[in-house]
Structures are given as structure tokens and as C-alpha cells.
């Protein structure tokens, strides 16, 4: 299965009385075993280092804070599955860069 090219979208959504862009990007998980154990740990550490909260979601509508190892494991993301990464924030918050960095990470084999 060839990975689909990532898509990035920005949609305005009100947060705490201010307008923030909601940045979303879809990416296919390249690690054959999916986000299990070591690959999930690598991904969650990278998410925890981002300046904004990033959420990872599956096609069935389930989602989790990308910084939470247990929550990410609970999603049961498999290799080759498409997930959506989402973050809210302004350009100065680093939301787009955070989503892009984590998407690039998922597009590589984290178990290699």
C-alpha cells in the first residue's frame, strides 16, 4: 500500500474567546506494527516536546492526546492506517509546525 500524500487544512474555531486556526493533517502510519510499544513511545515523546497540544484521531472517530502513551496505545493504530493529527493555535504558537513534525515522524518506520 503506498502512502497517501499528507493533507493539511486550517479551519477557524473559537477557543477561550479568541479565534485560533485548527490545523489538521492526515498521514498514513508507516511502521508495520502500527503505534505499539516502542513506536508509540517515540511518537508520544515527540508530541510532548511540541509547544501545542496535538490530538491523534482514527477514521472511526476515536481520538487521543498525542502526549499520552496509554491513550495512543488504546487507539490500536495499525501499520498502513490513516490517522489525523490536529492542533489548535496561531502561527506564532507553532501549531502547523507541530502537526507537520509529528506527521513526518509517523510517515517513517519508527521500529526500524
Q: Active-site positions?
A: 36
Contact in structure between 84 and 23 (CB atoms under 8 Å): no
| Per-residue burial over 14-30, b = 16 or more CB atoms within 10 Å of its CB, e = otherwise | eeeeeebbbbbbbbbbb
Q: In which residue are the cell numbers 517515540 written?
A: 42
HEC letters along 44-100: HHHHHCCCCCEEEECCCCCEEECCCHHHHHHHCCCCCCEEEEEEEECHHHCHHHHHH
Amino acid at each position: 500500500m503506498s502512502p497517501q500524500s499528507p493533507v493539511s487544512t486550517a479551519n477557524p474555531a473559537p477557543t477561550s474567546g479568541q479565534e485560533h486556526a485548527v490545523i489538521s493533517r492526515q498521514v498514513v502510519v508507516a511502521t508495520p506494527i502500527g503505534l505499539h510499544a516502542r513506536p508509540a513511545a517515540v511518537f508520544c515523546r515527540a508530541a510532548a516536546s511540541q509547544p501545542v497540544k496535538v490530538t491523534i484521531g482514527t477514521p472511526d472517530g476515536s481520538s487521543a492526546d498525542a502526549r499520552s502513551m496509554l491513550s495512543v496505545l488504546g487507539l490500536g493504530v495499525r501499520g498502513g492506517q490513516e490517522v489525523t493529527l490536529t492542533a489548535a493555535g496561531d502561527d506564532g504558537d507553532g501549531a502547523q509546525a507541530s502537526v507537520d513534525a509529528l506527521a513526518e515522524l509517523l510517515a517513517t518506520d519508527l521500529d526500524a
